[in-house]
Structures are given as structure tokens and as C-alpha cells.
A and B are shown apart, each in its own frame.
Chain A
Amino acid sequence: MKFNSDEIASIIQKEIEQFGAQIDVREVGRVLEVGDGIAQVYGLSSVMAGEMVEFPSGTHGLAFNLEENSVGIIILGEYLDIQEGDEVRSTGKLLSVPVGDSMLGRVVDPLGNPLDGKGPVNTSKRREVEVIATGVSQRQPVCEPLQTGVKAIDAMTPVGRGQRELIIGDRKTGKTAIAIDAIINQRDSGVKCFYVAIGQKESTIAGVIEKLQDAGAMDYTTVIVAGASAPAPLQYIAPYSGTAMAEEYMFDGGHALVVYDDLSKQAVAYRELSLLMRRPPGREAFPGDVFYCHSRLLERSAKLSEELGGGSITALPIIETLEGEVSAYIPTNVISITDGQIYLQPELFFAGIKPAMNAGISVSRVGGAAQVKAMKKVAGGLRLDLAAFRELEAFAQLGTELDPATQARLDRGYRMVELLKQGQYVPMDVVDQVLVIYAGTRGHLDQVPVDQVHDWEAQFLVFIRDQKAGLRQELDEKKDLDDDLIAKIDAAIADFQEQYLANASTKEAVVEVPA
């Protein structure tokens, strides 16, 4: 490739012509002590809280503590090349990150520096990391669904665009899996996704990125990484950086989904910074404003009014509990901030129910407003049915003989639980979800053995796509179940049942024939 050096020369010439000696005015201070990701600086008498400062090595920091005789700075990068006595200059600016379409498909650190080896990020647009959330009058109620592709969630705890739905559970219960499925399911929805990894193992993050790449989700996703080996200041600001990148779309009338994985580690990083800065420790040694740390983050996720374009940011914060203790400090804080929570329990996980969501205590405070009408109709009684089933399940374990009605409810419950199980990285379209849940709640699975429910479901969906494509399309367009459509679905299920049961009996006959 041959470059046109004349063009480059003309740029340099323009720069030289416009060169003018200007006075650079800056405020400076001197490093008193540095270590553990923070520095105490003498001077900087006019620096403001949250203002960005710069060290001689080029590393940036944020003014965190404004004390009588010094300024506490959190260092956003490597602190080992900063020495006592170094001159620190204030920049007069707030911390900002690059934003825009060129961030999609990239893996960056909380300052926007690329980590994926694909070269610099080519964007001139920047947004401030810390901004005040939009006011009440600038919002409207959540009214548009955000389909996660997970049947249990979309049916019983639906998430809407602009909602904050907490995913909470012990370690290894599938929290990240739900978030990843939600991202993968946004493929054709126009929603831009941001996955903020805070304090995670780098190997785990690499695995997540690979899964997103395999699913083609990286085309519309940005991954912001502040891994376990990242300094605490970067882990602290990572969620705010991710939100700033998402706000670029929200304020432009678009939609974004941000996953914070996880906020427990961000709280720990914030505690570390606060203790090093000698801020008074409160409960569990967290600083007194740890609630504000999360509330000002999550309040930036909103559904904007039509006057502002109707854009939205949906947040899926993740909190890790210890031994199921949801009444601990940080979990209760975040529960009170969010618009609902999805509880994942290890008992359900080890019993094979995946996603391990406890439908009884999971809730979405937006509810039906975040569901398409068809789903609202089929999932209306699902939660109550499952709750009733759980009550009866205890009786079943006693081994007592049950009356036919109770046994029927139990059998229905087993099948619904089986139906709501779902594999990882296979989010389901809402139309498919409506069809299978309709089939389950209307008793069409009652004749199917529990261990064949998945097989039935898979074949049913293939049948609908191949042989009843018109029906599927009609449901996709209407997104509602009128009597006519219900009749067609019933007929389709009846057709399929004939084929399925016929195949099933053929297989049995084949098995029974001696070799």
C-alpha cells in the first residue's frame, strides 16, 4: 500500500500555520505518599472533587478526598512508577470515556483503552463517566419488553426496557449465564449490549467473550473489563464507564442493556479505597455512602420520555450472596434500589433445575407492562400454579395416596417445571415461548412423560416452523392471542400430538421386538 505523503504534509503545514504560543495554565501539587493505588498530594488547592489529575508518568487519577492539608487521589492505572515528590497537575476536566459505534465489538478497560489487540478505538465522541441521573419529568414508565430469551424469566419475572432487574444468588448458580443469554437474545432487537466485568477472573471473562463471539453477539456488544488483578480504582469506576457508553445510545433514542457482573466486587473495591483514604468505616467496614455508590449508578438506567427520544437503558446488576444470605448489607441495599430481583438458589441448581430461579420469591415490579400480550395471557397463572405445586410437592414426598385432582395438579407441576428448564446459550424467541407455555398450561403435556417434555418441546417447535409457519408468523405479527389464533394453535398442537405419540409408540414397538 502506498501512502499519499502530500496529504500528511498538508496536515502538518496547517498545524504549523495555526501554531500560536499560548499560555498553559495548570494547577500543580506534589506527591506526599503513594501506594496501594492511592496517593496523597500536597497542593492542588483549587482542585474539585472528582476532578481528573495527571501524574508525570501519564497515569491519571481522580481527586477523591479533599482534606485540609492534602488531596487524596485514586490512581487510575499503575502506581508503581509514581514517586514521592512527583509533580501532579490538575486537568480541569472530569473523567470521560470514548463512546459510539466504534466501541461495539471491542473489549476495553474502564478508561476506554482497548484490551483486545485490535488497534486503537476510532472515535472522537466522549461522555463523562459520572453524571447525574435524569429527573422524574424526563422519564416515562417502562412499557416495552426486553426479551431475555429465558422462559422462566420472560414468563414470570418479565424485564422491560428501562428496568433494573437484579440477578442475585450464591456462587455458581448461573447468574452470569442468565445475563449472557439475555445479551445473545438481543441479536435482532437493535438493543446494544454492554457487559461490565468487575473483579472477575480474567480466564472467566475470556470464556464469556468467546461465547459472545461464537453466538455473534460481539457485533453489538462492548465488554468493559476490570478484572481481579485490576487496581481497585478501576474496579470502582468500571460500572460508571459502562453506563456512560450506554447513555450515548439512550439519549439518541436507542436502547441499551448493561450487565454489571458483579456489583458485590465493586462494593468491595469501593470499601478498599475508602479505608485506604481513612474514611470512617460503617457496617461491615463499608463506607457510609456505599448505598449512594450503587443508587447513583442504577438510577441512570431509565426509560426516557418521548420528548427525549424514548430511549432506554436496561440494567441487569448481579450480586453474589454468601450461603444464600439475601439479608446481608449489600444485597439488601441493591434489592431496595432495583425494580425486581431474580433469585437463584443452589438447591434448585443441584436438583437440575436450570435456570435455578425460585419463582416464589423472584419478582419483577414492572410485571405485565413488560410483556407482550400473548405472553401475559399464557403466563398469567403460571406463577400461582407453580406456587401451588410447590406446596403439594411436600405431600407427594410423604408417599401418601392423593386424590385425582391433587395428583393431576402435581403432574402438571412436574411438567411445567421441566418445561421451564432451559439450556445455556440457547435463548428462545418469545413466540416459541408463548407456544410452549401455552401448550403446558393448557394441559397438552399431561400425556407426555416428564422425562420426554424437552424432547416434545424441541420437536414441537420444529413442527411449528416447518409445517405451521403461517401460524407462527401470525402470532409473531399480532403478539396477542385472540380466539381465532387460539383455535389454530389448539389444532396445530392436536396435529403434532398425533404425530408425536405415533412416533413414540413406534419407537416402543421397535424396542420391544426382540433382536
Chain B
Amino acid sequence: MTEDTENRRQKLVLDVTVERLARLYAKAALDAANAKGTAESLVQELGELATGVLDRYPRLEALFATELISKDEKQEILDRTFSGRMTDCSLGLLTVLARHNRLDILRNVIRSVLSLWDQRRNLVQVDVQFATEPDEALRQEVATALKGLLRAEPVLTTRVDPDLVAGFVVRVGDKVYDGSARTSLERARLSMIARARESMQDQPDQFILEK
């Protein structure tokens, strides 16, 4: 995933109303695809739509979002572009979004579909920051440990942040497991200050040689 896409992904997360809407469409699309047995195709096609089409042709995304083009015209564009090139469920989703004038949230819907699909397969997106570039053995070790902790299959996205000094930080949804040396050292620093202050208050004479 490119950094730009990642950033846009983070930004888009901040509109909760849109997220809620997107989740509705995503659930409906997945349920419809499941009933036909084409859920995997749906997910794959939508993933390719996001990375292969929308990322490469941002003007297409802008076209979908604009109010200047009527929904009928958008429908025609969809038919011309995607008809015969994707499954009925995928095209059906795009058609419904166009009909409801919701093509502007297409990317959010795709992200929700991917997220729901992961949930249904008991996959959990995990963001792991290391202080240095990890080798494969370390990745495996982290993945195994997370599997036991989360009782789900972790899908790791790794990053390197030298500011951590050592150790790593794991983020799963809203929970952060911080095993970095940076946080431990900061905790130790604050503890040192607190202990010193307590000792000075309790036994001030020990700290003063001469007045």
C-alpha cells in the first residue's frame, strides 16, 4: 500500500457519518455476494478497482464525486467501463451507489468491504512499528504471538520508527501494545522524578549537606 493511499485512508476514517453509510453498503454487497457464492470475487474486484483504477485515475474518482454530472450519465459511464469486466455483484454495487448518488463514498465502501471480509475470515489488521528493520524470523514470531493474543489471524503492516530506540509497538484497532524502549525509559524517568520528590519530602535532611 502506498504511503499516499495510507494517508488518504487515515484521513477518510475521520468522517464517521460516511463510514457508517459505507458500512451499510458494504454489508449489503457482501451478503448479496455470499448468497451467490461470489464473495471472494467481489472482494478481489473491488480491491483491484481501488488500487488499479481509482489510484491510477484520480480524475475518474473526482468524476464519480461531482454533482455536475447526473446520475444517469454516471450510470452510463459505469456500464461502458465495467460491464462484462466484473461480476454482477460488483457491477450491481456500483449501479446502486450511482442510483443513490453515493459514488463519492465508493472508496469508503471498498475499504469497508475489505474490512468486513477480513472480519468474516477472522483476520485482524495489525499495525506494527519496529525500531529497526525486522527479519522474517522476528515477523513470524510477532505474528505467532499476536495470533495467540488476538485469537485471530493477524495481517501485519510493518513500519520502522527509529525513535522507538528498541522494541516495538503493536496497534490493533483502538488498542495499542507498547513494548518500546522509548516508553519504558520515559516511564522510568517519571518514576525517578516521583521517587526523588517523595524522598526529599520525607527525609529532607538526607539531601542537604550544609545550609
Question: Any chain B CB within 8 A of the CB of A4?
Answer: yes
Question: Any chain B CB within 8 A of the CB of A397?
Answer: no
Q: Check B196 against A32 for contact (C-beta < 8 Å).
A: no
25 contacts between A and B (CB under 8 A): A1-B208, A1-B210, A1-B211, A2-B208, A3-B208, A11-B196, A15-B188, A19-B184, A19-B188, A22-B179, A24-B187, A25-B176, A25-B177, A28-B171, A28-B175, A29-B174, A30-B14, A42-B13, A43-B173, A43-B174, A44-B174, A46-B174, A84-B14, A85-B10, A122-B197
A7: chain B residues at CB < 8 Å are 199, 206-207
Question: Any chain B CB within 8 A of the CB of A45?
Answer: yes
New contact pairs (15) apart from A24-B177, A25-B175, CB-CB < 8 Å: A1-B208, A7-B206, A8-B196, A21-B167, A22-B187, A23-B177, A23-B179, A24-B176, A24-B184, A25-B178, A28-B171, A30-B14, A69-B17, A122-B197, A122-B201
> Given contacts A1-B210, A8-B196, A30-B14, are A45 and B174 in contact (CB under 8 A)?
yes
Question: Any chain A CB within 8 A of the CB of B191?
Answer: yes
A85: chain B residues at CB < 8 Å are 10-11, 14
The 8 Å CB contact of B178, one of A16, A23, A124, is A23
Give Cα A21–Cα B19 distance, bound, in whole angstroms.
Answer: 38
Q: Check A2 against B16 for contact (C-beta < 8 Å).
A: no
> Given contacts A15-B191, A21-B167, are A28 and B176 in contact (CB under 8 A)?
yes
> Given contacts A11-B195, A30-B14, A89-B176, are A21 and B184 in contact (CB under 8 A)?
yes
A84: chain B residues at CB < 8 Å are 14
For the complex, count residues of A whose C-beta is within 8 A of B: 36
Question: Any chain B CB within 8 A of the CB of A26?
Answer: yes
Q: Check B14 against A69 for contact (C-beta < 8 Å).
A: no
Question: Any chain A CB within 8 A of the CB of B75?
Answer: no
Question: Any chain A CB within 8 A of the CB of B65?
Answer: no
- In the assembled complex, the CB of B121 is this many whole angstroms from the nearest CB of chain A, namely 21
B10: chain A residues at CB < 8 Å are 85
Question: Any chain A CB within 8 A of the CB of B9?
Answer: no
Point out residues on B near A: beta carbons under 8 Å.
Answer: 10-11, 13-14, 16-17, 19-20, 167, 171, 173-179, 181, 183-184, 187-188, 191-192, 195-199, 201, 206-211
Q: Check B179 against A21 for contact (C-beta < 8 Å).
A: yes
- In the assembled complex, the CB of B98 is this many whole angstroms from the nearest CB of chain A, namely 26
Closest Cβ neighbor of B196 among chain A residues: A11
B196: chain A residues at CB < 8 Å are 8, 11
Closest Cβ neighbor of A31 among chain B residues: B14
Question: Any chain B CB within 8 A of the CB of A12?
Answer: yes
A3: chain B residues at CB < 8 Å are 207-209
Give Cα A1–Cα B10 distance, bound, in whole angstroms.
Answer: 55
A14: chain B residues at CB < 8 Å are 195
Q: Check B191 against A26 for contact (C-beta < 8 Å).
A: no
B171: chain A residues at CB < 8 Å are 28
B176: chain A residues at CB < 8 Å are 24-28, 89
Question: Any chain B CB within 8 A of the CB of A176?
Answer: no
Question: Any chain B CB within 8 A of the CB of A497?
Answer: no
- In the assembled complex, the CB of A256 is this many whole angstroms from the nearest CB of chain B, namely 24
- In the assembled complex, the CB of A202 is this many whole angstroms from the nearest CB of chain B, namely 30
Question: Any chain B CB within 8 A of the CB of A422?
Answer: no
